[in-house]
Structure 1
Amino acid sequence: MRPLLLVFLSTFLNINSLTAQVKSTGIVNLLSGMTAKIDLNNNNQTVTLTFSGPSDRWYALQFGNFSFGDGMKNGEDIVYFNGNTLVDAVHNGVGTRPTDDSINNWSLTSNTVSSGIRTIIATRPFNTGDSNDYIFNFQNNTIDFAYSRSQSANYILAYHGFSNRGYSISNSFTTLGVDNHDLVSKEVKLIPNPASSSFVIHSNFDHNIVNTTIYNSLGQNVLYVKNTSSEINISQLPTGNYYVEIEDDLGSISMKKLIVK
């Protein structure tokens, strides 16, 4: 076996080892224009939240292990956008404003607005050591969401109204792997690859690509693009190896390797 082929196989096995330690809920639709996605990286014990909602008001997400109807239950972990950043907080019960944690354990990595929808990407450790924070466990197969948003354009936490809240219970985690056979069989390719400033996703099937997420070699979410239909700008990314998660409108997910030069 030639040395070059040995190097390739070694690299491929290392990539599979990395991605096998990443689990994702995929994009979970909440309300119109409001979605959430949780990625768990067991390599560095880090959770990444991708959270979208209306750009002109607060919106909030409660996550953990609870039941339908347990929204605003005392002690449940919550995050909300306050007009400037993602706030780490804890519920105090129905009708009472959440209390902001003394330390915000979420690190905001991206805050973008497109067509009136704000998408936030933030990370934090599985276990922050804060008793107010939910402890993420890579072995868990599901996670529960409760969510709400302001009924008008403002960032003052107040009663949201019945139509501006809801539940998404038992959202399943899927282990991500490089070149998932569902999409590989349809010949999804990144062109060019290696790339320096941009690339396009090329495929020979009719389904639309609805979400594209790029992770660095540590499994950290570094770029998210919704409704991908043109070139993806990667000029801001340092050189190195990346992993591109591609989701189509049927929910099929693939992870492709991308080399940025």
Structure 2
Amino acid sequence: MKKITLLGLLVISLSSFAQQKSTGDVTLSTNMTANLTLNNTTSKATLKLTGPSDRWFALQFGNFGAGGGMETGEDFVYANGTTLIDGNHAGYAQFPNTDASQSWTVTSNTVTSGIRTIIAERNLSTGDANDYTFNYANTTIDFAWSRRSNAGYALNNHGSGNRGYNVSVPLSASLGVDDFSLKTSAIYPNPSNGNFSIETKTGLDKINVYSQTGTLVETINIEGKSNTVEVSLKSLQTGVYLIELQNDQEKTWKKIIIR
């Protein structure tokens, strides 16, 4: 009886930790990789995308199979040399559309030895018809990639040698190791009426609030390195804002919506 009880507790314990699924680092082409992680606890998707820093590179994701790249309405993102752009395809060999609502929030954008690494996150389901809905129950996902054939950031015909597919990429649950960085911080409710709770696994020193145009609109200093902070931004107009979370070790960005 003890053995059965202990085994049951172990299964429950393991299942409680296995709240993330990841593709791991998927090699798309030379100097280009993708890593997608779905978090069932926070209902967030995190994408790490790498590619050559001197040109645009793009990733389409969803359920489309080999040959389904650039079909009308398919969701994709691309690095334009400055940030990550959220878009949808307008059909084969047609210039894509840029989504009116940019659902991905870039938390890191670095260049090392000619390789750009972008880390961004968004909700599993954004409510935007142009966005693919990530389903945590899925066991695979399809990737299609492309990049410019030469240096430059203006979108152009990439040519047949600069595109490809990685389909049925496994999404595997893993226990992993707890991440105590600021990027794992949770903000709720979001959207809200201006009152937010921010939970971190590490201390928080300061919060900067920016408009979408990059204007600093408010700074909140946190005393005592609290892991849970109640924030009131009800004085701000309704809309989308970016908040910068800081401590003495790091900083990260999150998107909030005030209704």
**Shorter-chain-normalised TM-score: which range?**
0.5 to 0.7
**Alpha-carbon distance between aligned partners in 2 of 1:93 and 1:145, rounded to the nearest angstrom:** 17
Give the corresponding residue for 1:46: 44
Deviation string for 1:220-243 (max 9, x for gaps)? 39xxxxxxxxxxxxxxx9459xxx
Aligned ranges for residues 1-261 of structure 1 at < 5 Å? 19-178=17-176, 215-216=179-180, 220=184, 238-239=202-203
Structure 1: stretches of 5+ with no match in the other structure:
1-11, 180-213, 222-236, 241-259
Checking the alignment, whether the CA contact within 8 Å between 1:25 and 1:174 is kept in structure 2 is yes
Relative to structure 1, the CA distance from residue 25 to residue 74 in structure 2 (aligned partners, 3 Å threshold; closer, same or farther) is: same
- Is the 1:21–1:175 contact (alpha carbons within 8 Å) kept by the matching residues of 2? yes
Aligned-pair distance for 1:124? 0.1
Contact 2:181 2:202 in 1 (8 A): no
* Contact 1:126/1:137 (8 A) holds in 2: yes
Secondary structure (helix, strand or coil) at the match of 1:30 reads: strand
Conserved? CA contact 2:87–2:98, under 8 Å: yes
Residues 15 and 110 (structure 1), Cα distance of their counterparts in 2 relative to 1, 3 Å cut: farther
CA–CA distance in structure 2, aligned partners of residues 118 and 178 of structure 1: 25
C-alpha root-mean-square deviation of aligned residues, in Å?
2.7
Aligned to 1:215, the other structure's residue is in SS state: coil
* Letter aligned with residue 101 of structure 1: D
Question: 1:8 aligns to what?
Answer: none
The 3-state SS of whatever aligns with 2:94 is: coil
Contact 1:41–1:219 (CA<8 Å) still a contact in 2? no
Give the deviation of 1:161 after TM superposition: 1.1
- The one-letter amino acid paired with 2:179 is Y
Give the CA deviation at 1:17. 5.8
Which 5+ residue runs of structure 2 have no aligned equivalent? 1-9, 186-200, 205-248, 250-259
Do 2:182 and 2:202's aligned partners in 1 also have CA atoms closer than 8 Å? no
> SS in structure 1 opposite 2:55?
coil
The change in CA–CA distance for 1:78 and 1:102 in structure 2 (over 3 A counts) is: same
CA distance in 2, matches of 1:19, 1:32: 34
C-alpha distance in structure 2 between counterparts of 1:150 and 1:99, whole Å: 17
Letter in 2 for 1:215: D
Distance 1:163 1:239, change over 3 A: same
Provide, for residues 134-184 of structure 1, a one-character-per-residue CA deviation record: whole Å limited to 9, x for no partner: 0000000000000000001100111001111000000001111147xxxxx
Q: Distance in 2 between matches of 1:138 and 1:32?
A: 29
Q: How many residues align?
A: 181
Q: 2 CA distance for matches of 1:61 and 1:35?
A: 10
Partner of 2:238: none
Q: Summarize the Cα distance change of 1:67–1:110 in structure 2 as closer, same or farther, 3 Å threshold.
A: same
Relative to structure 1, the CA distance from residue 160 to residue 15 in structure 2 (aligned partners, 3 Å threshold; closer, same or farther) is: farther
Residue identity matched to 2:130 = N
TM-score by length of 2: 0.65
* Contact persistence 1:16–1:178 (CA under 8 A): no
Q: Which residue of 2 aligns with 1:248?
A: none
Distance in 1 of aligned mates of 2:83 and 2:176: 33
CA distance, structure 1, for counterparts of residue 23 and residue 37 of structure 2? 7
Distance in 1 separating the partners of 2:203 and 2:141: 34
Tell me the secondary structure at the aligned position of residue 29 of structure 2.
Answer: coil
Mapped partners of 1:101, 1:15: distance in 2: 41
